Amino acid sequence: MKVTIVGAGNVGATCADVISYRGIASEVVLLDIKEGFAEGKAMDIMQCATTTVFNTKVSGSTNDYSKTAGSDVVVITSGIPRKPGMTREELIGINAGIVKSVAENVLTHSPNAIIVVVSNPMDTMTYLTLKATGLPKNRVIGMGGALDSSRFKYFLSQALQKPGNDVQGMVIGGHGDTTMIPLTRLASYNGSPVSNFLSQEELDKVAASTMVGGATLTGLLGTSAWYAPGASVAYLVDSILNDQKRMIPCSVMLEGEYGQNDICIGVPCIIGKNGVEEIVDVQLNDTEKALFAKSADAVRNMNADLKA
Ligand code: NAI
């Protein structure tokens, strides 16, 4: 199974690293526009093969898309990351041009690939990719909910003072500080609602920390994060390549689901060998439905900037 990752920067290279040492794919091609950069990252990762012990073949390419031919999955992380104080929305103009040309290039060499979009603003970039390529909606998946959910589970586990593996939780809606919706009502610890252990005030604090989770790291690091984003992409790629059928919140095209049409936004999906196998209808209450509608409005507003 072959994966191409376009953009060998922080997120792309971390994703390649996790895919290799976890043996998720047999081959990974890193591609970047910066001369020699992808080759260097690939060589560095390959030099771990005998110590972290893996068999995945990782190679790099400077903008030569013929090396990506026959990929089963293509991950798009190319673009510029958010700088401190910069909103995801401000990234739109620059990243739209990059993502569109990358999607067209990869499909020339891998016409059957499933595309995973990571570049921000991710919901809008996913929508753009779908529209620009004309691919069926099961083959274009935006990654954001997996990361936001992993941050949500982290903050829940901190509040509960319990290991993260025993915590379940999901973030839906747009992949933005003000648009994501951590579903505290449905979160659980060892099968019991987290509200059995945490007060409403504590849950609100967890939700607020989750929503600024990316911005907090950007403030600390001076650029956006990469370990959890890279691992979240690898988790999603694993579910596709190895047909895991995991339920992962992903940004996908809605046609009536959750009361929305013609928009890519985060909803729980079953992810398997065909990409989006199913959109899961989690029964939202009225408050959550209203938040989702508001989030969709915000994403739709951003999509409108694509046409400007
Ligand atoms: P980075 O700057 O470390 O890496 C981006 C790479 O893309 C660079 O190496 C650059 O040379 C390359 N690139 C730019 N234009 C290209 C082109 N036309 N063709 C090929 N390569 C090109 O950035 P980082 O931190 O890896 O973030 C990448 C993107 O992912 C950003 O848009 C960032 O905002 C987004 N992101 C999304 C997340 C999500 O949950 N959806 C989480 C974290 C980051």
pLDDT tens, per residue, the chain with 308 residues: 999 999 999 999 999 999 999 999 999 999 999 999 999 999 999 999 999 999 999 999 999 999 999 999 999 999 886 667 767 667 788 889 899 999 999 999 999 999 999 999 999 999 999 999 999 999 999 999 999 999 999 999 999 999 888 999 999 999 999 999 999 999 999 999 999 999 999 999 999 999 999 999 999 999 889 999 999 999 999 999 999 999 999 999 999 999 999 999 999 999 999 999 999 999 999 999 999 999 999 999 999 887 65
- Residue 193 preceded by cis peptide, ω within 30: no
* Tokens standing for residue 254: 């809605």
Q: What is the structure's pLDDT at 94? A: 85
Q: Is the distance from the beta carbon of residue 12 to the nearest atom of ligand 1 less than 6 Å?
A: yes
> What's 106's DSSP letter?
H
> What is the predicted ipTM?
0.99
Q: Give SS3 for 248.
A: strand
| Ligand 1 center–CA 58 separation, angstroms | 19
Nearest-angstrom CA–CA distance, 156 and 203: 8
The rounded radius of gyration (Å) of the Cα atoms in the chain is 18
Q: Measured from the CB, is residue 68 less than 6 Å from ligand 1?
A: no
Question: How far is the centre of ligand 1, averaged over its atoms, from the C-alpha of 8 (Å)?
Answer: 8
Task: Please tell me the predicted confidence (pLDDT) of residue 216.
Answer: 96
DSSP letter assigned to residue 80: P
Residues with active-site annotation: 175
The rounded distance, in Å, linking the Cα atoms of 281 and 276 is 14
Q: How far is CA 147 from the centre of its chain?
A: 6
Distance CA 215, CA 133 (A): 31
How many angstroms separate the CA atoms of 284 and 292, rounded? 9
| 266 CB near ligand 1 (under 6 Å) | no
Nearest to 284 by CA among 166, 145, 146, 184: 184
pLDDT of residue 92: 84
Cα 162 from Cα 154, distance rounded (Å): 10
pLDDT for the residue 89? 67
Show the CA angle centred on residue 126, arms to residues 144 and 270, nearest 5°.
Answer: 60
Q: Is 230 in the pocket of ligand 1 (CB under 6 A)?
A: no
User: Which residue's CA is the nearest one to ligand 1's atom 28?
Assistant: 77
pTM listed for this prediction: 0.97
Q: What's the 204 CA to ligand 1 centre distance in angstroms?
A: 31
The reported pLDDT for the residue numbered 294 is 98
Question: Could you tell me which residues are beta bridge partners of residue 250?
Answer: 267
The whole-number pLDDT of residue 88 equals 60
Q: At what angle do helices 286-307 and 92-109 cross, to 10 degrees?
A: 80
